[in-house]
Structure 1
């Protein structure tokens, strides 16, 4: 929230206190502790009143500095906290008369002692700082106390991230409330709020506060980012990159790397849709229709009404509609399909589980000990209290039971509407902090239950916060069936992947409404060139023959393409799991030195090598930017010169899909499914490799291990090739060149 009224005044009823000087400083156990009065101490009489702030600076890992500002410290500890993964590195701390410094790796916090300010220095330059009146302790007559920090923005500095936000991609000029809400994709509300941002100037900031955090991004002060929380303390981390990729690598080392989803999850998912009428015959009609039209499918999803109305969630199949669920699941598996079912963490009063959960204390309670209930979404529903270990075990038990029955995945819907008034959590957690943190506990329980039961896990999760990237996959939520909503969905996805999330999906065709055929076809191409791909709607089905015959052709064309690309895509997924660098990347992430890429939100890189620019218009016109170099159109094989904007029209069986120069792109031998032996009869194509340049590519196994690695160096008009790992046959090609590739005889094969 804003505390000032312009440059000189404060809001009515607001009193602000700012650090004036460092009165005492001491270093112990790898932490610098500063005692900071909010007025200058001229004589002993000035020490008699406060407020006085305590500022602690430490380091959880190299190139990351933690700052904690607190006023009253005698309060009960507030939980939960975002889990972080700390190293044993100890920072260097130095004190002299004028400065106190803490150095971790390449990053230094420098505190001016006489007139308090805090600078973050890397490479000999100040990358950001908390200037005079940047840190503040606020008393508001209406709203209580707050602690805020303000970090400066330089000329041309852009702010990105803060979760899956559907507003403008660059966050400058926005007031962002980090507070999970079920608001669809068309407003400034978000399902996935993450108090982390990065900038194009080499650093990121993680505010380790699970409660509501208010960000004023170049609004309260247009040259600063302000973030504030209610209460008596504030903790944040500055993460030095300097590149955006390095920032995300370090942030996800701190908060958790994305797990590796199983290979089958990257294939096409088809659902029943939400309120449509369906039974096993309906499901079979969809599957038969897909098979008859040679449309490959990996996963079939049953949405809410696999359970009886008013009984969500009792985790029991509606016997009137599905009289033989075990047999049905066996039959679906016999078709080569995986099965996903919808769940949420709410137990309706009509559910057979409600009484059991209430009696055993598995549901969130009011302060008087009664079950917290309301009628929004499901009549009389209670909320599972995942702070109770017994409730977690109980909930996980139902997941494992369904898994034994044949369910392979869960769509973990909801988790945003978590109350904060008149509630008592089992472990005494602070209600404000639990609101955003709840989806972390919810998705962790389901993800780990699947892993324990099957050895692999893939969710389709909607709500999230910091750290939830460890439990993929996440999808964008309820979008409209319009081109505008298609574009806002992509903005949200790119913001999320710049917030530490590795994999992302969306509802192909839009969730609300019936998409026109032209939108369905364009969204199909976009959806199948995303990390994960799902056909899903609200009141209408999403099988392609309901739109027109060309929609069938488009779905087949791009499904086949994605499956052929799976050796490349799955290796990119492995890289995401290992590094935290997302599969779907904002252009800024891959080309930080190109200022033209800093604002782009209608195109992205899918892994290292593929540029994807969905078509967002009825007139078939695509407008996109190509970075420097000679790229190659994947469909036509023609070169595309970069360093410029391109405006072209595309038919529905095409889209801007370019291969980056210097790439080795691996394609597979199978187009009928996503999960197969990626090393068998692979085709490796060389794209615009310059003389003397070397490229390397790894072909993965289905477990994410290395099958073999190919290293190619161009020497004149020939290529030196080295293979390491398993000795597997492959076909080597050069893009735009017919005939055999000239391979130098000095090439080696190294078998491990």
Structure 2
């Protein structure tokens, strides 16, 4: 190609023993040479080739094969031998991409999908995938320890090709169970070879289930985005093994059950034909995320899991912020927010938060261009008091006022009255769901809701 001959003439490829460009005959797509990413001039030349596409609106990159996939003995870089630099190639590629954006597009975030890296690669806006995983139940099951151990190692956005990538057969049950796991993963991204991963190619029953799951993922974006903020600021993993929250040697090698943020406990279905599974609930009080059924922790339960359901539990005393589902992230609006509080009489105090910004600025936290909501609940025998406030931070297109829907689930009965900032308001009580619904408008001032 034209680009190949240009890079070859400039000496920008890794070299052989004669200092000629090292030609690999059987790289993934055919004969190829590898950019010397350790050479500053070669790296800059390579990134300049990205610029016209970035200027057209490309917002992310798939930096694939960065091991590199083919790395023959004898290959040399300006920084040393390929043997000594093997693990650093993908890392340096990610750093190069990040540095290029910081210099040339300082107001733009980059999404860099990778499958190779090193300690510290997470600094460079990288989103690693677990590779070309096998389309099988064993392939699905393997994603849990990969995702959780990488998260505990400081790599927070590890995820898999939802549905599986390679080999295997067309399997609607496996696909559905993998989508369920993907919805409660740091990144949701179907991808596959030979067999499609788009829902349109599956049965009407599967499409309906997957459609509901996709809507749920979009609804949970405020919760997930807040998890990303907490990870950035405090280093908290988005997904966490049970041992992260509970110090118990028994939990050290338990990977089939995990926390999704502070409040949700996820128990994926990992076996063919399973309609239920055993769940070791951690200490505390838990509510079925979908049905509201109440469980006390510190014991093992058998959780029902028909094909349309993944067992998910929410910790009593949790605040979960959500929005109306959309078909694409750029369409999401936060003018209307739903805040759900999961009540339990044993929980006397609770707190939570919600982080929002423009979704674009890489320095939103550093510059203070964000809005951070704080939620708190105080529960006495006769009254539940909920306070909602925020830092009144400013960012581009931030709504000045928001319509808030507060849902309080698991209340034992219909309240006598509900007051917002001391004034009685109308409310709706749904006995079947044991749920109270209150709506109000929120500007810059804090709001107090009392339910008696």
TM-score (norm 1): 0.50
Separation in structure 1 between the aligned mates of residue 225 and residue 313 of structure 2, nearest angstrom: 19
- Helix, strand or coil at the partner of 1:380: strand
Provide the residue aligned with 2:352 in structure 1. 696
Q: Once the 2 structures are TM-superposed, how far is the Cα of residue 707 of structure 1 from its aligned partner?
A: 4.5
Map of 1:390-409 to 2, 5 A cutoff?
390-409=41-60
Aligned residue pair count? 400
* CA offsets 1:733-752 (integer angstroms, 9 cap, x no match): 22123766845867999749
Cα distance change, pair 594–639 in 1 and its aligned pair in 2 (3 A): farther
Unmatched tracts of structure 2, length 5 or more: 365-369, 393-400, 424-441, 447-452
- Helix, strand or coil at the partner of 1:696: strand
Provide the residue aligned with 2:15 in structure 1. 365
Q: Once the 2 structures are TM-superposed, how far is the Cα of residue 675 of structure 1 from its aligned partner?
A: 4.3
Provide the residue aligned with 1:437 in structure 2. 88
Q: Once the 2 structures are TM-superposed, how far is the Cα of residue 450 of structure 1 from its aligned partner?
A: 4.7
Cα distance change, pair 676–640 in 1 and its aligned pair in 2 (3 A): farther
Map of 1:73-84 to 2, 5 A cutoff?
none
1:389 maps onto 2:55 in alignment? no
1:681 maps onto 2:347 in alignment? no
Indicate the structure whose relative CO is greater, using CA pairs within 8 Å and at least 6 residues apart: 1
Asked whether the 8 Å contact 1:461–1:474 carries over to 2, the reply is yes
Cα distance change, pair 714–749 in 1 and its aligned pair in 2 (3 A): farther
Asked whether the 8 Å contact 2:288–2:294 carries over to 1, the reply is yes
Separation in structure 2 between the aligned mates of residue 492 and residue 735 of structure 1, nearest angstrom: 34
**If you compute each CA radius of gyration, which structure gives the higher value, 1 or 2?**
1
Q: Once the 2 structures are TM-superposed, how far is the Cα of residue 616 of structure 1 from its aligned partner?
A: 1.0
* CA offsets 1:699-750 (integer angstroms, 9 cap, x no match): 4233462253222222333214242334643122221237668458679997
Provide the residue aligned with 1:221 in structure 2. none
* CA offsets 1:215-245 (integer angstroms, 9 cap, x no match): xxxxxxxxxxxxxxxxxxxxxxxxxxxxxxx
Q: Once the 2 structures are TM-superposed, how far is the Cα of residue 623 of structure 1 from its aligned partner?
A: 2.5
Separation in structure 1 between the aligned mates of residue 414 and residue 56 of structure 2, nearest angstrom: 52
Asked whether the 8 Å contact 1:529–1:606 carries over to 2, the reply is yes
Q: Once the 2 structures are TM-superposed, how far is the Cα of residue 525 of structure 1 from its aligned partner?
A: 0.9
Asked whether the 8 Å contact 1:557–1:653 carries over to 2, the reply is no
Map of 1:648-663 to 2, 5 A cutoff?
648-663=303-318
1:734 maps onto 2:413 in alignment? no
Separation in structure 2 between the aligned mates of residue 489 and residue 370 of structure 1, nearest angstrom: 41
Map of 1:262-661 to 2, 5 A cutoff?
351-376=1-26, 377-417=28-68, 419=71, 421-426=73-78, 428-450=79-101, 452-453=104-105, 455-470=108-123, 471-513=125-167, 514-591=169-246, 593-620=247-274, 621-661=276-316
Map of 1:205-220 to 2, 5 A cutoff?
none
- Helix, strand or coil at the partner of 2:114: coil
* CA offsets 1:643-687 (integer angstroms, 9 cap, x no match): 122223312221111111221111113343334566422121222
* CA offsets 1:464-488 (integer angstroms, 9 cap, x no match): 1111112321111111111111011
Provide the residue aligned with 2:379 in structure 1. 714
Q: Once the 2 structures are TM-superposed, how far is the Cα of residue 510 of structure 1 from its aligned partner?
A: 0.7
- Helix, strand or coil at the partner of 2:389: strand
Cα distance change, pair 410–722 in 1 and its aligned pair in 2 (3 A): closer
Separation in structure 2 between the aligned mates of residue 691 and residue 458 of structure 1, nearest angstrom: 40
- Helix, strand or coil at the partner of 2:224: helix
Cα distance change, pair 711–679 in 1 and its aligned pair in 2 (3 A): farther
Unmatched tracts of structure 1, length 5 or more: 1-350
Cα distance change, pair 399–564 in 1 and its aligned pair in 2 (3 A): same
Larger helix percent: 2
- Helix, strand or coil at the partner of 2:210: helix
Asked whether the 8 Å contact 2:343–2:410 carries over to 1, the reply is no
Separation in structure 2 between the aligned mates of residue 750 and residue 406 of structure 1, nearest angstrom: 35
- Over aligned residue pairs, what C-alpha RMSD do you find? 2.5
Cα distance change, pair 676–582 in 1 and its aligned pair in 2 (3 A): farther
- Helix, strand or coil at the partner of 1:556: helix
Asked whether the 8 Å contact 2:371–2:390 carries over to 1, the reply is no
Separation in structure 2 between the aligned mates of residue 632 and residue 675 of structure 1, nearest angstrom: 32
Larger strand percent: 1
Q: Once the 2 structures are TM-superposed, how far is the Cα of residue 380 of structure 1 from its aligned partner?
A: 2.8
Separation in structure 2 between the aligned mates of residue 676 and residue 574 of structure 1, nearest angstrom: 20
- Helix, strand or coil at the partner of 2:189: strand
Asked whether the 8 Å contact 2:263–2:318 carries over to 1, the reply is yes
Cα distance change, pair 679–396 in 1 and its aligned pair in 2 (3 A): same
- Helix, strand or coil at the partner of 1:383: coil
